[in-house]
Amino acid sequence: MIGRLFGSLSQKVPSLLYRVSLVMKPQVVFVLGGPGAGKGTQCSKIVESYGYTHLSAGDLLREERAREGSEFGQLIANYIKEGKIVPVEITINLLRKAMEAMMKENENKFRFLIDGFPRNEDNLQGWNRVMDGKADVKFVLFFDCSNEVCINRCLERGKSSGRTDDNRESLEKRIQTYLQSTRPIIELYEKQGKVRTIDASRSVDEVFADVKAILDKEG
């Protein structure tokens, strides 16, 4: 009897711990800026120095596109090629699963940089609908950079990245999408006092000095 009780209890402990770990909500920083603004580079440096987990919405979508047997692979490929924004349900589901997997693996890993999201009103409404009460958005890191600097950086990156969207035609579409769809989201968060703007046209180290000052202040 006691043996059976103990056995039953030991089976419940891992799932119990998992539920306890999810009581600590993910602490999220959204990272926004135009294509080529240096979001990925700066996120890598933040991870090294501050222990955040970096989740790139674009990378998660590209991984899902390449995953054998993915039901969304071709759909994602078509959207990316056209420089359009992938349906929100797909993106949020990938982000949610990635955060849950990380927190299940290590309950101390609850701080996340979400790079390249939310990109439009639909993204934001979807996030609020699915993640309301399940994650805390602390603030938005906005890497501000001129369109021409962004395009030149991406064209240079395209020589070695292998990304199908690092060409001038796709880039011009992506920048138009960013200006029409993402900038209004940044402005919305600005009204809530949640945006931390950084001049991203400078060198990597100069930009990161500003990032460090913000993160040290925010705690």
Mean pLDDT in residue range 65-70: 90
- Comparing 5-14, 40-49, 192-201, the range with the smallest average pLDDT is 5-14
**Annotation: binding site for CMP:** 123
**Annotation: binding site:** 36-41, 62, 84-86, 116-119, 123, 157, 163, 174, 202
CA 123 to the chain's CA centroid: 12
Q: How confident is the model at residue 158 (pLDDT cuts 50, 70, 90)?
A: confident
Superfamily of domain 27-218: P-loop containing nucleotide triphosphate hydrolases (3.40.50.300)
**pLDDT value at position 23?**
60
Provide the residue ranges of all domains of the chain, joining segments of one domain with +: 27-218
Residues 6+ apart with CB under 8 A from 192: none
Residue whose entry in the numeric block shows the structure tokens 């009581």: 23
**Annotation: binding site for ATP:** 36-41, 157, 202
User: Nearest to residue 86, comparing CAs of 51, 47, 60?
Assistant: 60
pTM, whole model, 2 decimals?
Answer: 0.80
* pLDDT higher than threshold 60 for residue 1: no
**Annotation: binding site for a ribonucleoside 5'-phosphate:** 62, 84-86, 116-119, 163, 174
* pLDDT higher than threshold 60 for residue 107: yes
